[in-house]
Amino acid sequence: MNEENLAKIQAIAEAALLAAGKPLTLDQLRELFAEDERPARQVMEHVMMLVGNACEGRGFELRKVASGYRLQIREEFAPWVSRLFEEKPQRYSRALLETLALIAYRQPITRGEIEDIRGVAVSSNIIRTLLEREWVRIVGHRDVPGRPAMYATTRQFLDYFNLSGLTELPPLSEIRDLEEIGREIEKNIQAEIEFDSTSAQPTGDNTSDQTFH
Amino acid sequence: MNEENLAKIQAIAEAALLAAGKPLTLDQLRELFAEDERPARQVMEHVMMLVGNACEGRGFELRKVASGYRLQIREEFAPWVSRLFEEKPQRYSRALLETLALIAYRQPITRGEIEDIRGVAVSSNIIRTLLEREWVRIVGHRDVPGRPAMYATTRQFLDYFNLSGLTELPPLSEIRDLEEIGREIEKNIQAEIEFDSTSAQPTGDNTSDQTFH
Amino acid sequence: MSGKEVVDLPNDLYIPPDALAVFLEAFEGPLDLLLYLIRRQNMDILDIDVSEITRQYMEYIGAVEVMRFELAAEYLVMAATLAEIKSRMLLPRHEAEEDDEVDPRAELIRRLQQYERFKKAAEDIDALPRMERETFTVSASLPKLPSNQAHPDVEMRDLLLALQGVLSRADLFTSHHVERERLSTRERMSAILSLLRDDQFVTFQSLFTIEEGRLGVVVTFLATLELVKEQLIEVVQAEVLGQIHVRARAAR
C-alpha cells in the first residue's frame, strides 16, 4: 500500500463520514470499496488514525463511539456553533437521568427494581421518553409474576454521550458493605477521626456493576 | 488580527459549516461571534479563503453557491460515497420476468403481442426497466397503425445469463417438462420472489405488474 | 387558615411557605430529602443521628401537609420507617449481643448509600459531553451521486419458470406453433431488423456472412422468410435477375 493510495483511501473515508452524518464501522467503510480495491482491516484502522490526525487543529475531530467512527464538532467550538440552532439543548429531569443511570449501570433492570433503589415511583412518561429516544430498550422479561420488562441501554445511548462502550461510563462511587460500616462506625466513635473512604480493598460491588455485553 | 485568532475563526467557520449542513452566508458566519469579537467582513472573506485552502487534498471542498458557502463532498469520491446510500436491490416482478422471457423466445415482438400472449397489459415500467438494464432493445417498428416498437434481446442479456447465443436457451419443449421440477423450484422461489402466490396453480393474476425500482 | 401554622415552621427548614411546592418538586423522593437533610447537618451518612433527622423530616412532612400539597405515599412510608428505627435505637443495647445485633439504621444507611451513588451517577451522565450540547454531528453536502439503482439478480430458472407460467396460460401459444421456429431463426430476425435501421435498402446478399457456413446461410434465409411472412420487411427486385434489396417496412 503506497502513500498515494493511502491518501486516497483517507480522503474517501473522510468524505464518507461527512456524507453519512452518523457513525460508520470499519467494515462499513471498507465496503465502500470494490472487492479488488478493498483495504484490509489493519490498513483501514491505520487510515482512521490518519483521518484523526488530519483533524488536528481543525473545527472537527474523529471520535470512536459505540456504533463506529464519527466526525463531530470539537467541544471547544460548541459555544459558537450552537448559535446556529434556535433551540436550546434539551435539559433532562433528574428523575429521567437517575432512571437512565440505573438502567445504564444496573442493566438489565426492571422498573420495580429502579423504584426500589430510587425510593419513588418511576413515571411511565420517563420510560416512554427513554424508549422513544432509543436510549433504552426492552431486552426481556423477568420470570416473576407480572413478567416485568427488563431494560438495557442501546448503542444510540452510548453514541449520544460520546461513549464507545459501557466501560467508559464514569465509575460508580464505592459503597461500603454493612459489616464494614459497623466496624467503621465503631472506629470513628473511638478515634473521633474524620472518616474518609480510603479502604483500598475492592468491594466487589463495583465489578459486578460493570458486567455488560 | 493575529495568526492565532485567524486560525480560531477559521476552525469555528469550518465547524459551523459542517454542523449546519447547509450553506451559510458570510453574515451568518459572522453572527456566530459575539459583537465584541465579530470579525469584519473582509476578515471573514479572508478566512473563507483559508477554509477553502485547508480542504486541499481532503474529502471535501468549499463551494460558494447562491445562498452562501458550503462544504461539499468532492465529486471525485462520489462513486465510493454513493455506496453508502445503496439500497438493497429488490426483486423483479413475475410480470417482468414473463415479459423478458417472451421477448427472448419470440423476438422481435411488440408490446401488444406480449400482452396478447400474457392476457394482461404490460406496464410501461417493465419495458423501461428492461431497456434501462439493456437486456432488451428496440430493433424496429411494426408497420401497423401506431407503429409499435419491436423488442429483441441484447448481447448484454446473453452475457448476463452466460449464453453465447439464444440457441443456448432451453427449447420450449423442455420448458413444458419443467412442470415437474417446476413445482419444486416454485417452492424455493416463492420465498424469494415477491408476488402473491397463495394458489399453487399458476394463475393469471399478475397483480405483479407493480413497480419495482 | 394555615398562615399561623406556617410561621411555626422550624427555622432551620429555611423554606418560605410559597416555595414549598417548588421545594417539594426539587426532591426525587424521601431518600433524596433525607440525603439533603443529612448533608445540611454535616452528618456522616454512616452515623446518622436518627432522632434529629426524624424530627426534621417530620417537620418537613408536616409543613407540606399543612399546606395541603399532595404528598407522595413514599414520604409517609419513610416517615413510618424513621419512627420505627428511632424507637429501636432507644432500646437498650446489650454488650454481649452487640455482634449479632444489627444496627437498626443499617438498612436505611444501605438504601441511602445506594441511592446516593446513582444520584451521583446521574449527575455524571448529565455531565458527559453529549450531542447537541457539547458537540454536533457534521455533514457536508453531497455532490451529484451516480444513480445507485442496484439491479436485482435474476436466475435463468426464474426466467424459465415465468415463461412456463405464461405458456400454461396461453392456449394460442401452443408448443408446435413456437417450436417450429427455432430460436436461432428468431435471433437472426432481430439481428436483421437491427441492420435495417434507416429506412434504407440493403442488398439481400449483405445479410449473409460467408464465414457462418451453410448452416448460417440457412438460418439467415429462414429468418428472412419469417420476416417477410410477418410483414416486417419488404423485398424488392427492380429487374429480373437483378439485385434483391430489402428494407424494414417501418424503420425507426
- Judged by a CB distance cut-off of 8 A, whether residue B22 touches chain A is no
How many angstroms away from the CA of B193 is the closest CA of chain A?
26
Nearest to A98, CA basis, from C133, C32, C129:
C32
Residue A106 has pLDDT above 90, yes or no: yes
- Judged by a CB distance cut-off of 8 A, whether residue C168 touches chain B is yes
Residue found under cell 419495482: B212
Residue A191: predicted pLDDT:
61
In this predicted model, what pLDDT tens digit does every residue of A138-192 receive, in sequence order? 999 999 999 999 999 999 999 999 999 999 999 998 776 656 666 666 666 666 5
- Judged by a CB distance cut-off of 8 A, whether residue C28 touches chain A is yes
Q: What is the spatial distance between Cα C49 and Cα C86, in angstroms, rounded to a whole number? A: 9
Name the residue in chain B with its Cα closest to that of C182. B167
Residue C31 has pLDDT above 90, yes or no: yes
**Omega within 30 of 0 (cis) for the link into C152:** no
Strand pairing category for B68-73 and B136-141: unpaired
Nearest to A166, CA basis, from A114, A115, A109, A107:
A107
Residue found under cell 463532498: B73
Q: Return the beta strands (E) in chain A as ranges.
A: 60-65, 68-73, 109-110, 136-141, 149-153
Contact B18 C141 (CB under 8 A): no
Residues C225, C227, C233, CA angle at the centre, nearest 5°? 115
How many angstroms away from the CA of A198 is the closest CA of chain B?
44
Contact C139 B119 (CB under 8 A): no
Residue A55: predicted pLDDT:
92
Report the run of H or E that residue A209 belongs to, with start and end: helix A205-209
Residue B144: predicted pLDDT:
86
Contact A78 C133 (CB under 8 A): yes
- Judged by a CB distance cut-off of 8 A, whether residue A18 touches chain B is yes
Contact A59 B11 (CB under 8 A): yes
- Judged by a CB distance cut-off of 8 A, whether residue A12 touches chain B is yes
Residues of C in contact with A89 (CB under 8 A): 130, 132-133
- Judged by a CB distance cut-off of 8 A, whether residue C106 touches chain A is yes
Contact A32 B80 (CB under 8 A): yes
Residues A111-117 have a mean pLDDT of: 95
Q: What is the spatial distance between Cα A55 and Cα A45, in angstroms, rounded to a whole number? A: 16
Residues of C in contact with B166 (CB under 8 A): 183-184, 186-187
Q: What is the spatial distance between Cα B194 and Cα A158, in angstroms, rounded to a whole number? A: 38
Residues of B in contact with A58 (CB under 8 A): 11, 14, 54
Of B139, B179, B204, the CB nearest to C190: B139
Tell me the pTM: 0.65
- Judged by a CB distance cut-off of 8 A, whether residue A59 touches chain B is yes
Strand pairing category for B68-73 and C202-203: unpaired
Strand pairing category for C202-203 and A109-110: unpaired
Q: What is the spatial distance between Cα A157 and Cα A165, in angstroms, rounded to a whole number? A: 10
The number of beta carbons lying within 10 Å of the beta carbon of residue B118 is: 21
CA distances from A82 to A160, B9, C125, C129, C141 (A): 16, 15, 21, 14, 19
Name the residue in chain A with its Cα closest to that of C126. A97
Contact C125 A22 (CB under 8 A): no
User: What parts of chain B have a pLDDT lower than 50?
Assistant: 193-213
More confident residue, B120 or A193: B120
Contact B81 A14 (CB under 8 A): no
Residues of C in contact with B140 (CB under 8 A): 193-194, 196-197, 232, 248, 250-252
Residue A66 has pLDDT above 90, yes or no: yes
In this predicted model, what pLDDT tens digit does every residue of B181-208 receive, in sequence order? 555 555 555 555 444 444 344 433 444 3
Contact A59 B32 (CB under 8 A): no
Cell of A171: 465509575
The dihedral of CA A13, A14, A19, A25: what is its sign? positive
Contact B175 C164 (CB under 8 A): yes
Contact C145 B204 (CB under 8 A): no
CA distances from C103 to A186, A210, B70, C30, C42 (A): 11, 30, 68, 21, 21
In this predicted model, what pLDDT tens digit does every residue of C56-93 receive, in sequence order? 998 888 887 777 667 778 888 999 999 999 888 887 76
Q: What is the spatial distance between Cα A54 and Cα B57, in angstroms, rounded to a whole number? A: 11
Nearest to A93, CA basis, from A67, A127, A69:
A127
Q: Mean pLDDT check: name the lowest of A3-17, A45-59, C5-19.
A: C5-19
Cell of A158: 452510548
- Judged by a CB distance cut-off of 8 A, whether residue A140 touches chain B is no
- Phi and psi angles of residue A161, each rounded to the nearest 5 degrees, phi first: -100, 20
Of C152, C166, C252, the CB nearest to B117: C166
Q: Which residues, at least 6 apart from C237, have a Cβ–Cβ distance to it below 8 Å?
A: C243, C244, C245
Residue C200: predicted pLDDT:
83
In this predicted model, what pLDDT tens digit does every residue of C184-211 receive, in sequence order? 888 888 888 888 877 788 888 888 887 8
How many angstroms away from the CA of C193 is the closest CA of chain B?
6
Residue C121: predicted pLDDT:
95
For residue B196, what is the DSSP state?
Answer: -
State the chains in contact with C (3 or more Cβ–Cβ pairs under 8 Å). Answer: A, B
Sequence-ordered alpha helix ranges (H) in A64-201: 78-81, 94-106, 111-118, 124-132, 155-160, 178-191
Q: What is the spatial distance between Cα C126 and Cα A160, in angstroms, rounded to a whole number? A: 11
- Judged by a CB distance cut-off of 8 A, whether residue C209 touches chain B is no
The dihedral of CA A60, A62, A64, A69: what is its sign? positive
Name the residue in chain A with its Cα closest to that of B23. A84
Contact A16 B59 (CB under 8 A): yes
Residue A19 has pLDDT above 50, yes or no: yes
- Judged by a CB distance cut-off of 8 A, whether residue C187 touches chain B is yes
A77 alpha-carbon distance from chain centroid: 22
